[in-house]
Amino acid sequence: MKLLKQRLSECVRREGAAHLDRCEQLTRRYEASVRVCQWNSGPNQRPRNVGDIMSKEAAMREEQRQQQA
């Protein structure tokens, strides 16, 4: 997440007024990583399940358990 934030800030500085078009993919990737991140304390203490990522991971783990058994 820190790397994406750094790359995004560099892109915005470099592109200037055209950063909305040229840094769009970096912005989307950074926003998605922020949403997926889990907070460890405070009122927002819950996993972010954007795009059903956590459900897919749980399904993959279950498949691995079944294959091992």
pTM over 0.85: no
Q: At what angle do helices 2-15 and 24-36 cross, to 10 degrees?
A: 150
**Predicted local confidence at residue 39, as pLDDT:** 58
**Predicted local confidence at residue 10, as pLDDT:** 94
State the Cα–Cα distance between residues 19 and 8, nearest whole angstrom: 9
Query: Domain ranges in the chain?
Result: 2-68
Token code pair at residue 48: 């972010």
Contact by Cβ (8 Å): 37, 48: yes
Backbone angles phi, psi at 21, to 5 degrees: -85, -45
Q: How confident is the model at residue 56 (pLDDT cuts 50, 70, 90)?
A: confident
State the Cα–Cα distance between residues 30 and 7, nearest whole angstrom: 10
